[in-house]
Amino acid sequence: MKFLGINAIFHDPAAALVADGRIVAAAEEERFSRRKHGKRPLAFSAWELPEQAAAWCLRQAGLSPEDIDVVAYSYDPSLVTGRPEGDWEDLRTRYAVRAPAFLATALPGLDPGQVAYVPHHVAHAASAGLASPWRDCAVLVCDGRGESVSHLAGVYRGGELEVLAAQELPHSLGLMYEDVTEHLGFLRSSDEYKVMAMASYGDPRHLEALREVIYTTGDGGFRVEPVDWNVYAKALPRGAAWTSDHADLAASVQARLEEVLLELVRWLYERTGARRLALAGGVALNCVANTRLLDEGPFAEVWVQPPAGDSGTALGGALHLAQAYGEPAGPMPGAALGRGFTDEELGAWLDVARVPHTRPADLAAAVAAELAADRIVAWFQGRSEYGPRALGQRSLLAHPGHARNTERLNDVKGREQFRPVAPMVLESRAAEIFGRGPVPSPYMLFVHDVRPGWAERIPAVVHVDGTARIQTISPREQPLMARVLIEFEARTGLPVVVNTSLNTAGRPMVDDPRDALECFGSAPVDVLVLGPYLVRRGEVFGS
């Protein structure tokens, strides 16, 4: 059977295809539309569907809309409670009720009767529990909101979900973090990771006060009382300079979030006795909290869905229905589930653009030489990543041994200078350089302590608190990138390369060759690697 998953109702619209017991494709609409997050999370934007992503998923499998057996829509309007008629929020429900007709219009030939609603947090849970490497595990979902709840705690046994707790709105850890994001001058439902980064610069001096208004209830749930954030730091206009007061607020909120999550997972462990925990929901993209859950929590293993935010519910909805129909399709094969291009297609793009290029006999050695010479490399290989992290398919690479490269990369991307960049390292070398977080860590969803003696050697990837958000590379899964790391170490003595996403501020990650060429042309990047081809900036634009 063929299952098409659709996320559309809040933000990060996406589509995913599960066919004949296999995860075939998944992609976010932003990669096609070039609108960051696809759309803003407004009630009256709920009608916007991931039309391009869905159409591509079908093409990838050689299918037409008529071939789809079931469409999983990751929101169930029948579960919405307490929304007054006439309120803007009611538009979400109205659009969701009409989603089958909208989908049939977007995908001509699709039978509206094939559309099935999957509760939002059940779709999140499936994206974690059913996509994880395990059939049996506890699962925790925490985000801004779904139909009427903001969290789910449960357990998968034999692929079947038992829900043990769900927190009703308006109490929401995700919405609380969004409020702080907006208060600190960032874009809510978009820039929450900036608050996490800012927290490293502050002192959690308001933690005791926040414990009074953000607390667990002992039954698997929690409460978030109304908070006047101005008591702790004056609200910042968008883009304004922040002070130590703002960093202290960020640090306090981050610390309280971590404490509450620890209490929730301890309750879940007591109820299930499971050894393994799978996480999803936007809060699960908080890699600092994830590491603390693994380090201090009771679970022996923790797995996080790479697109843990709403885009992941497209995959989760499809997996949930595949399981219900007796065709389980997990575990997830990796995050490289998006668009890919043949060498011939990539070469044709370069020819049409009249861009001088070479095809090195040993691409890994050529790229390592460029990196060793302290050049910034735009790296475009294979199928694009599903989710917000650049994982070696659409990346900017640089030398980690020069502290100034953090500033260089933030300048290239046009973003705040307090934003960190991440290290790539061979899975076999990670434990000697990084501690506390898990190894392997292929999805960049945990932070690791940088071991003594290494921070001075790789300063570009060490955050202000002495941690780094690493990505481990497996030679079996990413042989070319593994060879780049080996060749780079042979030239520099450093087994680490800087990795950050291939995009500029406010733009989605590069997805197709045109995006790559446009980014290369507009940003001060030294080298573009497009599949097997290498383009040097000086040969295109002059030195």
Indicate which residues carry an active-site annotation.
Answer: 11
Give the span between the Cα atoms of 416 and 287, in whole angstroms.
19
Give the span between the Cα atoms of 280 and 337, in whole angstroms.
18
Nearest in space to 311 (alpha carbons), one of 397, 255, 384: 384
CB atoms under 10 Å from CB of 527, counted, come to 22
Give the span between the Cα atoms of 365 and 356, in whole angstroms.
20
- Output the DSSP codes for 486-512: HHHHHHHS--EEEEEESS-TTSPPP-S
Pair type for strands 377-380 and 527-530: parallel
Q: Which two tokens stand for residue 336?
A: 């490289």
CB-based contact 180:195 (threshold 8 Å): yes
Give the span between the Cα atoms of 310 and 368, in whole angstroms.
36
Residue 503 has, within 13 A of its CA and on its CB side, a CA count of: 20
Listed in sequence order, the residues at least 6 apart from 288 whose beta carbon sits closer than 8 Å to its beta carbon are 196, 199, 254, 258, 447, 467
Cα 142 versus chain centre, distance: 14
CB-based contact 73:128 (threshold 8 Å): no
